[in-house]
Amino acid sequence: MQSITTLNATLNYCLYRYREVDPEFVKKLKESFYMDDVITSEQNSDKVRSLYEKAKARLTDAGFRHSKWLTNDSDLAEKTKQKEKKQSSSQRKVS
């Protein structure tokens, strides 16, 4: 139970940094966490993509490793998969 509390405190600290710049994002993520997963929905694919990209960038910046992402929008899933592959490939070339 202590590790969940620590994770929650760490996530809150990470999100706190964005509270003034992007309060909607912070509210959405705080309301959407279950353990270490974000479970949420949006009205359209553009909003989902935006939330995904912000969450990934901001949580990565805080030291979290993005390990999975699921959507029921097959077009968005494919685009994201291709983008992830491209980024992964370019990171391996730099390393």
23 and 54 Cβ atoms separated by less than 8 Å:
no
For the question of whether the overall pTM of this predicted structure is more than 0.85, the answer is: no
Contacts (Cβ under 8 Å, ≥6 apart) of 94: none
Q: How far apart are CA 23 and CA 31, in angstroms?
A: 12
Reported as a single tens digit per residue, the pLDDT across 21-56 is 999 999 999 898 887 788 888 889 999 999 989 998
Q: Is the pLDDT of residue 92 over 80?
A: no
Reported as a single tens digit per residue, the pLDDT across 75-90 is 888 888 888 887 777 6
Reported as a single tens digit per residue, the pLDDT across 56-78 is 899 888 888 877 888 888 888 88
